[in-house]
């Protein structure tokens, strides 16, 4: 139901209706909300680890692949940058051909995407 954009409270009362009332569920609405919140936090924490795993893998495949990560005072990822090996070769050949573009929309983490594109 979460994937279908059904709010936890709506899902809880739907389930209560299916089993004949909240007394038959076995947990409270607050329990359900807390569970979903913890699950979301685990997924979000895993997002960063997935990114790190991917970047390390790419670096293992291509020694000219570069990445850098900045963390904030809470040791959470604040920024990251990567450059593929071909981009490095292109820059070595054409030096001054770099374009910077920022998408002016933020994602669910309130971060902007700012790709450097060379040609």
Residue 60 above 90 pLDDT? yes
Listed by start position, the domains of the chain span: 1-61
**Residue 54 to residue 98: CA distance in whole angstroms:** 24
Question: Which pLDDT tens digit goes with each residue over 21-41?
Answer: 889 888 888 888 888 877 776
Mean pLDDT, all residues of the chain: 78
Q: What is the pTM of this model?
A: 0.48
> What pLDDT does residue 65 have?
92
**What pLDDT is recorded for position 80?**
86
**What is the band of 107 on the pLDDT scale with cuts at 50, 70, 90?**
low
Backbone angles phi, psi at 21, to 5 degrees: 125, 160
pLDDT at 5: 74
């Amino acid at each position: 139901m979460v994937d279908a954009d059904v709010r936890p409270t709506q899902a809880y009362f739907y389930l209560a209706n299916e089993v004949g009332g909240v007394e038959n569920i076995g947990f409270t609405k607050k329990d359900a909300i807390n569970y979903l919140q913890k699950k979301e936090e685990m997924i979000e924490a895993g997002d960063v680890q997935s990114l790190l795993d991917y970047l390390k893998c790419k670096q293992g495949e291509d020694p000219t692949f570069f990445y850098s990560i900045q963390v904030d005072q809470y040791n959470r990822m604040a920024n990251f940058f990567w450059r593929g090996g071909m981009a490095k070769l292109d820059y070595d050949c054409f030096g001054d051909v770099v374009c910077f573009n920022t998408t002016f929309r933020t994602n669910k983490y309130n971060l902007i995407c700012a790709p450097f594109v060379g040609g």
